[in-house]
Amino acid sequence: MTVVLGIETSCDETAAAVLADGRRVLSNVVASQDAIHAPYGGVVPELASRRHLEVVVPVVEKALADAGVKPGDLDGLAVTRGPGLVGSLLVGLSVAKSLAFVHGTPLVGVNHLEGHIYAAFLEPDPPEHPFLALVVSGGHTALYHARAPLRYALVGETRDDAAGEAFDKVAKLLGLGFPGGPAIQKVAEQGDPRAVAFPVAQMTDGARDFSFSGIKTSVSLYVKRHAPLNAARVADVAASFQAAVVKMLVRKTVRAALHLGVKRLVLTGGVAANGPLRAALRREAAEHGLTLHIPSPRLCTDNAAMIAAAGTARLQAGERAPLSLNAAPDLALA
């Protein structure tokens, strides 16, 4: 049995998890900082690193205790080295490197986005390569063609905001709080998705890229023009915005899959926790004969089990990081 501890501190979740054989989650601890950043309507990097520093050791201790594993028994350590906030990344890296130093445990640095993709491998029916992965989070919105294990080609990405960022900004405009995604999804249940026709961005050069800044501006103008918005109007705007974002994501993803001739899709990242997005992509994938893999919502948002999963694959491929491993805030996957 291969037992790997994953540590994730790239943004505003302090997370640690223990994974057996790259598939069995023995523990999965996530300490959210939502309450700390909520008053600011977004993540404050300085506050995030300070909070990681306070809770990271208890979080790691809990993950080990829940799994019934001692640090010296670990076969590997997997830690997020990027992309993310540098001050936040350094906290997880320091803890992982200390453990590796003390116990002589093999260490590997993991790309956070590869972690999101590996969340799909923690489900009972993992995807087979090749597949197309839509990684849609607070910091990233990109399509990756995973041709073979650990090999990725970038197919398309956002030219401006990430989809999750758009959810967060629109939620702020509507006074719905932080994080915006879950808040918008909840309020949208009471609204009419056809109430407002927000623009669905098209790339004039035909590229498979995304863009979410236009819709964000449209919502902003709408809110200014119709202020003050009553609760029913807020629900309609939330539902219409969500429907437009879902449409953009689904359309581009299915088109890219058909163009590449890929038969399998993976939907992952924080925004993949969104119910209407999951349902819409399921519908479209089925219609086009594509197999779709979506991790459970808990594994879509930031966690360390996904980091341990990607890390196990890399450790098994013989990869090892030196103790000089550093944070890479702009690390690319492909």
Which positions touch ligand KG4 (CB under 6 A)?
Answer: 11, 137-139, 164, 167-168, 179-182, 185, 269-271, 273-274, 301-302
- Closest CB 96 distance from Zn ion, rounded Å: 18
Name which of residues 121 to 140 contact Zn ion (CB under 5 A): 137
Residue type, 211: S
Nearer residue to ligand KG4 within complex by CB, 100 or 234: 234
**Closest approach of Zn ion to the CB of residue 136, in Å:** 10
Please say which residue, 196 or 306, places its beta carbon nearer to ligand KG4. Answer: 306
Closer Cβ to ligand KG4, 130 or 297, answer by number: 297
Q: Least distance to ligand KG4 from the beta carbon of 2, Å?
A: 26
State the minimum distance, in angstroms, from the CB of residue 147 to ligand KG4: 24
Residue 144 binding result from Zn ion, ligand KG4, none, given CB thresholds of 5 to 8 Å by partner type? none
Pick one of ligand KG4, Zn ion, none as the site partner of residue 156 (Cβ within 5 to 8 A by kind).
none
Beta pairing, strands 151-157 & 264-268: unpaired
Please report how close the Cβ of residue 85 comes to Zn ion at its closest, in angstroms: 12
**Which positions ≥6 away from 268 have C-beta within 8 Å?**
116, 117, 119, 120, 133, 134, 135, 136, 294, 295, 300
Binders of Zn ion: how many residues, by CB under 5 A?
A: 2
Min dist CB 164 to ligand KG4, Å, is: 3
Site mask, Zn ion, residues 5-44, x = CB under 5 A?
----------------------------------------
Q: Kindly write out the interface string for residues 133-172 of this chain, putting x where it contacts Zn ion by CB under 5 A and - elsewhere.
A: ----x-----------------------------------
- Residue 118 interacts, among ligand KG4, Zn ion, none and using kind-specific CB cut-offs from 5 to 8 Å, with none
Spatial distance between the Cα atoms of 131 and 124, rounded to a whole number of angstroms: 17
Mark residues 287-316: x for contact with Zn ion by CB under 5 A, - for none: ---------------x--------------
**Among Zn ion, ligand KG4, none, what does residue 274 contact (CB within 5–8 Å per kind)?**
ligand KG4
| Type of residue at 33 | Q
Write down the least CB distance from residue 116 to ligand KG4, Å: 6
83 prior amide bond cis, ω within 30: yes
Task: Give me the residues that bind Zn ion (CB under 5 A), please.
Answer: 137, 302
